[in-house]
Structure 1
C-alpha cells in the first residue's frame, strides 16, 4: 500500500547537511559548550604569564679590528646586504645560544623560580622507563657539569625565549615569557648585556693576542734604538765631525756624499723591510694559534693588504665561519624543537663536520701562505741588511768619522722613529678597540609588562569555539551515521522501496496516550472522559488531526477497485503508538459518516478499553472461546457510528484464536454490517498474532515511531507481513514526528504548526 519509491542514489546537498546538523544540534551544542567551558576553566585557573620585550641594533662592523689599518693606509670596506643579513642572523643565533642561556640562568638563579620547578610528566616517565636514562648528575655540581639539570633548564629557557630579526632593519627583538613580570624584564636585559659582553670579549681577545706579540717586537726595537743612540753620542765625543752647515727640517746637521746617500737609502729600505717583517710576523704568529675566529678577524685589516691571495683566504674563512655559526644555530634550534633523533639533524651535523673540515684546511693553507710571506719578508730584510752592510762597509772604508757619525745618527733616528710609530699605533689600537668594543646598541631595554601575555582570553575562546564546532560537526556525522533509528524519509524509501502512506506529527502525551498502568494514567471509567481525549475532539484542527484525515483520504482513494474495508494496524515493537492510531483513525473514519468497528485484537496486552474508558462483559477473547458468548459490541459516545469490541480476558493461546474459523466467520459477518473494520494487533516482532491477522485483512498499516523505531526492525516487520500479503496491502505510517524536525519539513514543506484555529465554545483558539 502506497507508491513505490525511487531509490536511486543522489549526492548529499547543503540542505541534507543542514538537516543533519539540526537533528544533531544537541551534540554540536554540547561539543561547543564543553570546549568553551574548558577554555574558560583554563583561562581562570592557568598561570598568568608575562612577556617582556627588548630591542637591540646591530651596527656595521668596523674593519679596523686591530686598529692597524690607518698605519697601513687601509680604508673601511662597505658591507653589502648579504653581509648585513649574515651578521644579524649570527647575532640572533648568539642570543639563542646555550652559552648565553646558561649565563643568564646562573646569574639570575632561574632554577629557583616557579617556572623551573620539577613537574610530573606522565609521558616523559613512560619514555624514561623504555629508554636508558644515563648517569645521574653529580651531587653539588654546577649547572654546566650537570647534564640532566642543564638540559632541562635550557629546554625551559628556550621554550620561553623568542628572538626575531626585524625584516628590512638592523634591529633584533628579544621576548621572554615568565610568570613573574619583573623576572621577565631582567632576563631580557641580562641576555642583551650578555651579547654585548660576548662581542667585546671576542674582539678584545683577538686584539690582545696581536698586541702581546707586537709588544715583544717593540721591546727588541727599543733596545736597538737605545744602543744606536748611545753609539751616536760616543762617536760624537770621540771624533770631531765636520758639519756641512746644512740642516734638515728637524734642525739636524748633515754630511753629504754619494756613498752616504746610498747608505741612507739602504737604511730606509732596511727600516721598511724590518717593519714589513714585523707585521708579517704578527700575522704569522696569529695564524700559528690555529684559532679560526682570530684568523678571520684579520680579513678586514690592511695588515694583509699586501698579499691578495692571503686576503682571499681570510675572507673565505670568515664566510665559512658565518655559515658554521648559522648551521650551529639551526642544529640547536632543531634539537630543541624535534629532539636529537630528528633525521634532518644527521644531514646538518654532516654539513657542519664538512664545514669544520673546510675551515681547518683553509686555516692550514693560510698558515702556509703566512709562513711563506713571513719568510719572504725576512729574506727581504736580510737582503736589505746585506745591502746596508755593503754600503756601510764602503762608507767605513772612507774612514770618515763624520760619515760614520751621520750613518749611526741616521740609524738611531730611523730606529727611534720606527719604534715610536709602532708604539703609537699599538696604543691607538688599544684605545680604539676599547672605545668601539661592541657594535651592539640597546634600543629598548626590557621593561616590566603591565598585562599578562597568556592566557589570551579572546584567542583561547575563539580557538575553543572553533575546535568545539569542528568536534560537533564530526560528532554530528558520526552519531548520525551510527544511529539506526528512523530519521529521514529517504531511509524508509531506501530500505523498503516504499513511500510512507502517512506522516503523523507529534501531538504530546495526554492521559490516554500513555500505556495503561503508567504513573500518569487516568483510568476513568466514564465513557465520555476517554472519548473526549481523542484527537478529533481534543484538537480538531491540529496538524495531527489533519494528518489523520489525510491518511483517511489515502485509504479511501486507494488505487484498487474499492478501499480496504478490513484494516490491520500493528507495529514492530511496543510503544510506537499503534493503539492510539487505531482509536483516532477509527474515529476519523466514523466522523466521515461511515459505520466503523474498532476491534482490540491485542489479546495479550489490551489497552483500547482502558484508554477510551469503556468496559464490556465478554470481549473478543471470550467470544472466540465460548460459542455461547454473544458479541458485546459497545457504542462509543459522541460518535454513534463508531463501535468498540474490547479484547476481553487474556486467553492462553491468542494466535490460535485469531486464526480460528470462528474469527473468520465473525469478520465475514462484520463486513456485511460495517463500512470499515479496524483491528489493533500486537507488535509483529514480539508475537505471531499480527502475521495471522495480516492474511485476513484487506490492508495492513505498519506503524513506526520517528526517532525510536529501528530501521532493521521496521524492515524485518515489513518483510514478515509481506510474506502473508501483497505489497499493495502493506503500508507504512510514521508516527510521532516533531513539527520542528527536518522530517516534518521534508514531508509537509513547512516547519511548526499549520496555524489552523481550533473552535472551542464558539471561539477560535490556536492549536
Structure 2
C-alpha cells in the first residue's frame, strides 16, 4: 500500500477532462467572467464614444517588377512573396513622407489643418497617469545614466547630451506623422496595392493619399538612379584593376610554360594515366592468374604422389591424354580379369597383358608428372609477370608525381588567368548593360484608382468596437477563470483523491453554509438532512473498510487546522452511536482541545492527567441522552508528543477497547505537530479529513508521506465542506427530496 501511495504522490499523470468539467469551471468562476466582461464592454463603449472621428481616403496602385526585354521570356517570371512587402515598407518610409510634405507644403499652407493649435483644457485622468509614469521612468533612467556617465569624459557627456536632446524639425515631425498614418495592403491574388491615409480632415486625407503615390514614384526613380550611378563608378574602377591583373597573370603563365616546357608535360599528363590504368588492369589479371595457379599447386602438393587423388583435380580430370590412358588402363584390367579365368599367372598371354598394363600406368604417371611440371612453370611465369607489372606501375606513379609537381604551378597560374578573364569580361558586360538601362525603372507603377473625398468617417466603428469588447471580455474572462482554476491546487474531487493516492474516499460531507453555524448538533436536530446522510455514508464505508471486523480504535486527523477533523469526530461518533454502538471520544489534541467545550464538560482532569501520572484513573464522562462517552484532554502539558507516544497510552487504549465498540481519537493536524504520527502507530486505522477548496495536494502529499513512513494504516479520506453546486450531482437528490424536512 505504502509503495503505491508513494508512487501516486511522485507521479501526477494528467487525467482526461470532459466537457462537463469545463462547464463546471465556468459556472464556478462566473463572477470573474462577468466582471471581466463588464469591464471590457465599458472600456469599449468609452473608447468608441470619446474617440475623435477619422476620415480615410484610399487609392489603388498597380506595382510590378520591370524585367525589360527579359519579360518576354516566361522563365523570368517567378514568385516573390517579399516584393510587395518591400514596396509597402518604402511607401511608409520617412523619405516618402518628406516628399509629401514638400509637395503639398504642409508646413506652410496646410499647417493649421495638419496640426491645429491645442486648447488649454484640463488633462484627463488617463493623461495625468501617463505623464506621472513617464516622469517616474525618466527619473529612473536619468539616475542610472548619471551613475554611468560619472566615469566618462566631459567631451563624451557633451556629445551624448547633444545627440539625445536634438529636437526633430517640423518637416520631420510631419513626415513621421504621415508615415505612421499610412496603411498599405495588397489586394489578394493581384499585383494591385491599396494605399490609404486617415485624418480628422477629409480634404487632407485625400490630398495626402494622392501625393503619396507620386512621392513613391519619385523615390523609386531616385533609388534607381543612385544605385546605377554608384554601380557604374564602382564597376569602371574595378574593371581597370582587373585588366591590369589579367595582363600580369598572362605574362607570368607564358614565362612559366617557356621555362618548364609544359606543352610536352601536358601531353605526358594526358598519356600517363591511360598507361597507368592499362598496367593496373594487366596487374589485376596477372594476380588473379597467379592466385588460381597457386591454389592449383596447393591442391597438387596436398595430393602428393597419389595418382588417383591427383586425377580428381579438374586440370587432371579434364586432360584428354589422361582420359585416354584411364580408358586403356580400365580395358587392360578387364582383359587381365578375363584372361585370368583361362590362363595362369605365368602364361605368356597373362605376362604380356600385365606388361601392357604396367606400361599404361607408367605412361599415366608420366603424363600426371608432366601436368604438375607444367603447372609449376605456369605459376612461376605468372608470378614473374605480376612482379614485373608492379615495378612498371611503381615507375609510372613516380613519373606521374614528377609531372604533377611540375604541373601544379602551371594550374595555379592558369586558374588565375581564367578567373581574371571571366571577371573582367563580366564587368565589361555589366558596364555596357548599366549604360543602356540607367534611365529605366526597376519597378512599374500605375495608378488604377485615385483617392476620392471621403464623406463618412471610417472610425470609430461603434458597433465593431462593442462586439470586439464583448468578445474580448467573454474570452478573456473565461481564460482568466481557467487560469485561476489551474492555479488552484486545492482538493475538489473524490475521484482525483482516489486516483492520486490509491486510498478510498469514505464519504463527502456537504457544506451547510453560513446560516447553519452549530454544525456539531445539526445532525441531531435534522436527522434526515443531507449532512446526516453524508455521515451515514461515511459510517457505512468505515464499517466495510476491514475484511474481518471494523476497526475499533480510529484516529481522526487532518493536514492543517480548520479542516473539520473535530466536527467529523463528533458527528461520526453520534452516527455510530445511533446504530446502537458504544462510542468513546478521546480528545488527544492536548495543545488546543475543543471536545469539552462542544459537550459542555469540565476539563480539570483528563487524558494528560492520566498519562503524566497525576491521576490513577482516566475519568470518562458520559454524554447525557446519547450513547457516547468522552475522555477530555485535561490540562495542557509541556510535552504532548511524548505523553501520546508513551506506554501508558497503549495501556489506556487496551482498556477502553474492552468497554467500547468504537474509540475515536481526535488528534492535532499532521503537518503542524508529530502527535498524530505517534497515535497512528497504536490506532487500528486513520481517517484523514480534507477540506474541499482549502486542503492543497502539496499539504496532502507531505502528510500522507509522514503517515506512511511511520507505517500508519490509512482507512480513507473524508472530503469535508463539499458545496452542493460543486458536488457534480452527488447530493442534488438530497437537496430536493429533504427540503421539506429541513424546513
8 A Cα contact 2:588 2:666, kept in partner: yes
Q: 1:174 to 1:564 in 2, by over 3 A?
A: closer
Structure 2 contact 198–205 (Cα < 8 Å) conserved: no
Is the CA contact 1:740–1:751 (under 8 Å) kept in the aligned structure 2? Answer: no
Q: Cα RMSD over matched residues? A: 5.3
Q: Aligned pair in 2 of structure 1 residues 351, 173: CA closer, same or farther (>3 Å)?
A: same
- How far 1:446 moved relative to its partner? 1.9
Q: CA deviation at 1:573?
A: 1.5
SS of equivalent residue, structure 2 residue 695: coil
Is 1:658 matched with 2:644?
yes
**How far apart are the structure 2 equivalents of 1:721 and 1:495?**
16
- What corresponds to 1:456 in structure 2? 461
1:389-408 paired onto structure 2 within 5 Å: none
2:671 aligned counterpart, secondary structure: coil
* Structure 2 SS opposite 1:644: strand
Question: Shift of residue 653 of structure 1?
Answer: 2.5
1:559 alignment counterpart: 546
Partners of 2:53 and 2:438 in 1: CA distance? 53
8 Å contact from structure 1 (residues 3, 499) kept in 2: no
Cα–Cα, structure 1 residues 631 and 44, in superposed 2: closer, same or farther, change >3 Å? farther
1:701 equivalent in structure 2: 687
Partner of 1:686: 672
Counterpart secondary structure, 2:590: coil
Q: CA deviation at 1:676?
A: 1.0
In the alignment, the residues of structure 1 paired with residue 230 and residue 484 of structure 2 have an alpha-carbon distance, to the nearest angstrom, of 56
* Matching residue of 1:543: 530
The answer (yes or no) to whether the contact 1:619–1:648 under 8 Å persists in 2 is: yes
| From 504, 508, 511, the counterpart of 1:503 | 508
Aligned partners of 2:437 and 2:638: how far apart in 1?
114
Deviation at 1:172, TM superposition (A): 9.9
2:66 corresponding residue in structure 1? none
* Equivalent residues in 2 for 1:55-74, closer than 5 Å: none
SS of the residue aligned with 1:554?
helix
Paired position in structure 2 for 1:446 = 453
Structure 2: which 5+ residue stretches go unaligned? 63-76, 78-86, 121-126, 149-158, 236-428, 440-445
- Which moved further from structure 2: 497-506 or 677-686? 497-506
CA shift in 2, pair 1:754/1:365, >3 Å = same
Provide Cα deviations, 1:17-58, integer angstroms capped at 9, x if missing partner: 55555555555555545544444444455x323215477999
Q: Distance in 1 between matches of 2:450 and 2:91?
A: 18
Partner residue in 1 for 2:283: none
- Structure 1 residue 598 and structure 2 residue 585: aligned? yes
Scaled by the length of structure 1, the TM-score of the pair is 0.52
C-alpha contact (below 8 Å) 2:526/2:742 kept by paired residues: no
| Alignment match, 2:391 | none
Q: Aligned partners of 1:10 and 1:351: how far apart in 2?
A: 65
**Residue matched to 2:607:** 620
Structure 2 residue 570 is matched with structure 1 residue 587: no
Aligned to 1:112: 115
* Of 173, 185, 205, the match for 1:152: 173
Distance 1:170 1:699, change over 3 A: closer
1:48–1:453 Cα contact (<8 Å) kept: no
- After superposition, residues 317-466 of structure 1 pair within 5 angstroms as 325=217, 328=220, 365=436, 445-446=452-453, 449=456, 452-466=457-471
Deviation of 1:365 after TM superposition, in Å, equals 5.0
For 1:273-328, what per-residue CA distance to the aligned partner results, in whole angstroms no more than 9, with x for missing partners? Answer: xxxxxxxxxxxxxxxxxxxxxxxxxxxxxxxxxxxxxxxxxxxxxxxxxxx93983
Measure how far apart 1:553 and its partner are: 0.3
8 Å CA contact 2:60, 2:449 repeated in 1: yes
Change (3 A) 1:168 1:185: farther
Residue 587 of structure 1 and its aligned partner are, at CA, apart by: 0.7
Helix, strand or coil at the partner of 1:740: helix
- Are the equivalent residues in 2 in contact too, given 1:2–1:501 (CA < 8 A)? no
Q: For residues 657 and 49 of structure 1, do their structure 2 counterparts lie closer, same or farther at Cα, with a shift above 3 Å needed? A: same
2:185 touches 2:194 (CA, 8 Å); kept in 1? yes
Identify the structure with the greater helix proportion: 2
CA distance in 2, matches of 1:505, 1:705: 11
Q: 1:326 to 1:49 in 2, by over 3 A?
A: same
- Could you say which residue in structure 2 is the equivalent of 1:74? none
Contact 1:617 1:632 in 2 (8 A): no
Matched, 1:492 2:492: no
Distance 1:352 1:479, change over 3 A: farther
Equivalent residue, structure 1, for 2:198 = 177
- TM-score using structure 2 length: 0.53
Measured in 2, the distance between the counterparts of 1:724 and 1:192 equals 82
The DSSP-based 3-state class of the residue aligned with 2:734 is coil
1:658 & 1:490 partners in 2: Cα distance? 34
Question: Partners of 2:16 and 2:503 in 1: how far apart?
Answer: 21
Q: Is the 8 A contact 2:560 2:670 kept in 1?
A: yes
User: Secondary structure of 1:678's partner?
Assistant: strand
For residues 737 and 134 of structure 1, do their structure 2 counterparts lie closer, same or farther at Cα, with a shift above 3 Å needed? same
Question: Per the alignment, in what secondary structure is the counterpart of residue 695 of structure 1?
Answer: helix
How far 1:585 sits from its partner (Å)? 0.4
Q: 2-side partners of 1:610 and 1:646: how far apart?
A: 10
Distance 1:14 1:625 in 2: 56
How far apart in 1 are the matches of 2:509 and 2:591? 26
Q: Give the equivalent residue in structure 2 for 1:721.
A: 707
Task: Quote the Cα distance in structure 2 between the aligned partners of 1:186 and 1:174.
Answer: 16
SS, match of residue 560 in structure 1: coil
Is 1:186 the counterpart of 2:171 in the alignment? no
Match of 2:534, SS state, is helix
Corresponding residue of 1:575: 562
Cα deviation 1:648-703 (Å, max 9, x = unaligned): 22223223333344433332222222111111111122222222221221111111
Q: 2:55 aligns with which of 41, 48, 51?
A: 51
> 1:561: Cα distance to partner?
0.6
Aligned residues: 485
Residue 509 and residue 477 in structure 1: after superposition, are their counterparts in 2 closer, same or farther (change >3 A)?
closer
1:77-96 deviation per Cα after TM superposition (whole angstroms, max 9, x unaligned): xxxxx9xxxxxxx9xx9999
Deviates more, 1:697-706 or 1:351-360: 351-360
CA distance, structure 2, for counterparts of residue 503 and residue 361 of structure 1: 92
Distance 2:229 2:534 in 1: 82
Task: Summarize the Cα distance change of 1:712–1:533 in structure 2 as closer, same or farther, 3 Å threshold.
Answer: closer
> Within 2, Cα distance between the matches of 1:36 and 1:599?
59
Look up the SS of the partner of 1:755 in the other structure.
helix
Q: Label 1:620 to 1:101 Cα distance change in 2 as closer, same or farther (>3 A).
A: same
User: Does 2:624 align with 1:676?
Assistant: no
Alignment of 1:193-342 (within 5 A): 325=217, 328=220
Separation of aligned partners in 2, 1:348 and 1:583: 96
